[in-house]
């Protein structure tokens, strides 16, 4: 389903969004829109309601910008360092971008809650109904996991927002994650394997996506045995494989490959810098300005730096694709390093000018989880569970390395040595996929790696503050102690 069918032909009035507990939900809907009395009657209504939950993933303050900024740019791999005020200035309760993230995630959750309430009574094919409800639970669990990762303790909303439940206190992160486990686990029971999907549904949530996300949830909580079991389920399913080459999945026509487990679906031609645009912003934000090569290019201050370039092992085929140096071919023109803050440019997630209508309108999908990520998480979990790498752990990380043209890791590595290799491999393989900052935090390496470079403060910047507007409008809301 290129691209997830997020063009909604009908926007029901009852898809009310929870936005800072203000009165925006009281605004009168246009008379030509369907009401909740006439909507939720047919199969098409159920599909449209489910599509609306996916739609939030394409919003500007989500993966195509803000979530990617936090996951990718707050580390030592990009731009000129040190930047000792980065975290203190950006991790503030009054930062409007943090409020947008909070709002958007709850918009997605509210849409899922509406779908889960309104779809069951619809008379329609029961198998399709079960699948749509599974997708709604997957997405709700995914959004709650994102909230718990970024904000820790948050309100758990399981019913559509109404006048009666606008004010709600936070729940502990542990309870939020229990809800995530329940939603993802129930989704995994009913969602199809990727091979059972109709080609038109490619890109929708699958059983493999639910199990992979569950494994990530457990890994992030240091529940390594549970994580390893879930990743093994994904691997043994035979539904996924590494692409033959690394680069094509980040270029034109490289979406939803056999390596893809779950992606944010994007489509060119959808608009500009607004939430109605279905295109990706990654190319515009990651590219440095190169006339006749890319549209705009705002990434001059966040180009790869020498520290990151030096991190590549000799012979790593990924370097030639990810990094471009002065004078090298860059989508048909010589790269001009003088246009960036560092001598290096990026090719990953960057589209050539002819393939996008504007800087905010690239077609390439954003990868949430792909098979290489699962293999590396599986290797990490096995190493932790067994106090050292097993044969399966070696096999998993070596598959990723071999694809990159690198030799197998030497046998006999200690747990710490193997872990160090996991850190290195995830840094390179998953570059710009919004994992790096959170990897460093969960590994306990953030104070060392990010403290001097960006001003990361331990026991504070492991999470974002609750947005100030939420505190002002919801009397039951409390700020995280680290920000009080």
CATH number at residue 30: 1.25.40.890
CA nearest 169: which of 15, 14, 21? 21
User: Is residue 187 in some structural domain?
Assistant: yes
User: Is residue 244 in some structural domain?
Assistant: no
308 contacts 77 by C-beta, under 8 angstroms: yes
Give the bridge partners for 369, in sequence order: 262
**CB under 8 Å to 290, separation ≥6 — which residues?**
297, 330, 331, 333, 335, 336, 339, 345
Q: At what angle do helices 126-151 and 207-220 cross, to 10 degrees?
A: 20
What does the pLDDT look like over 456-476, one tens digit per residue?
Answer: 999 999 999 999 999 999 999
User: Is residue 35 in some structural domain?
Assistant: yes
249 contacts 351 by C-beta, under 8 angstroms: no
pLDDT at residue 307, as a whole number: 92
User: Is residue 340 in some structural domain?
Assistant: no
CA 264/CA 238 separation, integer angstroms: 23
Total number of domains constituting the chain = 1
Look up the pTM and report it.
Answer: 0.91
User: Is residue 483 in some structural domain?
Assistant: yes
What phi and psi, each to the nearest 5 degrees, are found at residue 106? -75, -25
Q: Where are the alpha helices (DSSP H) in 247-304?
A: 282-286
Query: In which residue ranges of the chain is pLDDT below 70?
Result: 1-37, 270-272, 299-300, 356-360
Domain that holds residue 469: 1-203+441-484
User: Is residue 408 in some structural domain?
Assistant: no
Residue 200, exposed/middle/buried by CB under 10 A (0-12, 13-18, 19+)? exposed
User: Is residue 405 in some structural domain?
Assistant: no
User: Is residue 471 in some structural domain?
Assistant: yes
pLDDT at residue 149, as a whole number: 96
CA 414/CA 429 separation, integer angstroms: 22
CA nearest 128: which of 62, 198, 177? 198
Q: Which residue has the tokens 């080459």?
A: 245
């Amino acid at each position: 389903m290129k691209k997830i069918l997020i063009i909604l032909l009908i926007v029901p009035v009852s898809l009310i969004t929870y936005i800072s507990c203000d009165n925006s939900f009281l605004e009168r809907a246009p008379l030509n829109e369907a009401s909740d009395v006439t909507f939720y009657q047919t199969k098409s209504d159920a599909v449209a309601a489910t599509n609306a939950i996916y739609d939030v993933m394409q919003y500007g303050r989500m993966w195509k910008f803000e979530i990617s900024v936090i996951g990718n740019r707050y580390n030592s791999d990009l731009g000129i360092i040190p930047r000792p005020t980065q975290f203190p200035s950006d991790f503030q309760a009054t930062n409007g971008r943090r409020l947008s993230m909070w709002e958007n995630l709850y918009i997605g959750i509210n849409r899922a809650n509406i779908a889960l309430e309104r779809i069951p009574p619809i008379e329609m094919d029961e198998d399709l109904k079960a699948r749509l409800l599974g997708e709604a639970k997957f997405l709700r669990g995914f959004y709650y996991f994102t909230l718990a990762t970024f904000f820790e303790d948050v309100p758990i909303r399981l019913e559509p927002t109404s006048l009666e439940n606008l004010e709600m206190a936070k729940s502990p992160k542990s309870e939020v994650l229990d809800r995530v486990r329940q939603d993802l686990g129930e989704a995994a029971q009913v969602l199809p394997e990727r091979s059972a999907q109709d080609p038109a549904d490619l890109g929708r949530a699958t059983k493999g996506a639910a199990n992979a996300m569950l494994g990530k949830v457990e890994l992030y909580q240091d529940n390594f045995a549970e994580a390893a079991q879930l990743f093994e389920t994904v691997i043994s399913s035979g539904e996924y494989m590494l692409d033959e080459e690394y680069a094509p999945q980040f270029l034109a026509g490289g979406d939803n490959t056999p390596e893809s487990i779950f992606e944010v679906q994007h489509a060119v031609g959808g608009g500009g810098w607004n939430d109605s645009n279905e295109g990706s912003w990654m190319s515009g934000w990651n590219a440095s300005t190169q006339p006749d090569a890319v549209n705009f290019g705002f990434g001059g201050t966040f180009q790869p730096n020498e520290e990151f370039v030096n991190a590549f092992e000799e012979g790593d085929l990924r370097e030639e694709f990810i990094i471009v140096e002065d004078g090298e071919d860059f989508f048909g023109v010589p790269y001009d390093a003088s246009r960036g803050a560092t001598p290096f440019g990026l090719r990953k997630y960057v589209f050539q000018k002819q393939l996008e209508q504007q800087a905010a309108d690239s077609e390439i999908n954003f990868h949430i989880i792909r098979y290489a990520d699962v293999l590396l998480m599986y290797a990490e979990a096995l190493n932790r569970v067994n106090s050292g790498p097993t044969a399966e752990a070696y096999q998993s990380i070596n598959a990723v390395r071999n694809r990159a043209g690198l030799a197998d890791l030497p046998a006999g590595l200690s747990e710490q040595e193997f872990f160090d290799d996991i850190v290195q491999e995830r840094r390179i393989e998953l570059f710009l996929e919004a994992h790096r900052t959170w990897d460093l935090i969960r590994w306990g390496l953030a104070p060392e790696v990010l403290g001097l470079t960006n001003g990361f403060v331990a026991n504070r910047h492991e999470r974002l503050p609750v947005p100030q507007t939420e505190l002002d409008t919801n009397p039951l809301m409390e700020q995280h102690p680290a920000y009080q």
